[in-house]
């Protein structure tokens, strides 16, 4: 699966719209909307604070119904899952990826989406 966000396991359309690009002295940001499925827009915002690390925010916006999944791939190696914080983190000595899911925003009203598959 290549797409970051999928609905009902189907490939998405690429109908991206640029929303924002900011380049300041000590940070950068970009935001793009993709009308990926009927009734569902995938918004991705990327920040580069202090030009030291990258923060990615993925949002699913709309009223489409079905199984919504977010797909992130970690490099081969050890990682930690933390059910209490709904997060996952790689364990490399030099650079790492930290992923945190807001369970209140996943899977519709009271739903947990695909969190169970992560053990979260």
pLDDT at 113: 39
Can you tell me the distance from the alpha carbon of 35 to that of 109, in angstroms, rounded to the nearest whole number? Answer: 22
What pLDDT digit, counting tens, does each position of 85-117 carry? Answer: 888 888 888 888 888 877 555 443 333 333 344
pTM of the model: 0.75
What pLDDT digit, counting tens, does each position of 49-77 carry? Answer: 888 888 888 888 999 999 988 888 888 88
Domain 1-67 has CATH 2.60.40: no
Within the chain, which residue ranges are assigned CATH 2.20.130?
1-67
What DSSP designation does 10 have? B
What pLDDT digit, counting tens, does each position of 11-51 carry? Answer: 888 889 999 999 999 999 999 999 989 999 999 999 998 88
């Amino acid at each position: 699966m290549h797409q970051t966000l999928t609905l009902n396991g189907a490939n998405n359309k690429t109908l991206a719209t640029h929303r924002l690009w900011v380049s300041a002295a000590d940070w950068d940001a970009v935001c793009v909307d993709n009308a990926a499925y009927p009734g569902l827009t995938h918004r991705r915002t990327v920040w580069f604070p202090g030009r030291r690390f990258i923060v990615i925010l993925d949002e699913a916006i709309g009223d489409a119904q079905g199984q919504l999944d977010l797909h992130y791939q970690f490099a081969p190696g050890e990682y930690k899952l933390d059910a209490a914080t709904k997060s996952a983190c790689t364990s490399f000595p030099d650079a790492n990826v930290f992923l945190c899911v807001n369970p209140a925003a996943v899977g519709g009203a009271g739903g947990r989406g695909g969190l169970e598959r992560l053990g979260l």
